[in-house]
């Protein structure tokens, strides 16, 4: 006779990991949206001339700014979620 374990007290690790990943992704999206609204408001006007003249250096600078902000945001959120207990 096979003994059945009672899994009602414990979450399946793969389900818990999926839930945590979904919450982390949604949090990252919402925080990113809220961060980039003011960043766009300040950064893009600073590069209006470069954008109008289609200067590649200006585009690369804008891309570098947004990439740096995204890296810092993702790193901070990942570290925050790795410390949280669900």
Which DSSP string do the residues of 3-60 spell out, in sequence order?
A: PPP--SSS--HHHHHHHHHHHHHHHHHHHHHHHHHHHHHHHHHHTHHHHHTT-HHHHH
Q: Per residue of the chain (86 residues), what is the pLDDT tens digit?
A: 555 555 555 556 666 788 999 999 999 999 999 999 999 999 999 999 999 999 999 999 999 999 999 999 999 999 999 988 76
The answer to whether the predicted template modeling score (pTM) of the entire model surpasses 0.75 is no
Q: Within its chain, how far is the Cα of 82 from the centroid? A: 14
Contact 78, 11 (CB under 8 A): no
């Amino acid at each position: 006779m096979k003994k059945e374990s009672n899994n009602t007290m414990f979450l399946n690790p793969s389900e818990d990991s999926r839930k945590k990943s979904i919450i982390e992704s949604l949090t990252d999206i919402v925080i990113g949206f809220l961060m980039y609204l003011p960043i766009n408001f300040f950064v893009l006007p600073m590069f209006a001339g470069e954008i109008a003249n289609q200067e590649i250096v200006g585009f690369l600078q804008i891309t570098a700014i947004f990439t740096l902000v995204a890296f810092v945001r993702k790193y901070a959120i990942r570290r925050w979620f790795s410390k949280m207990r669900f």
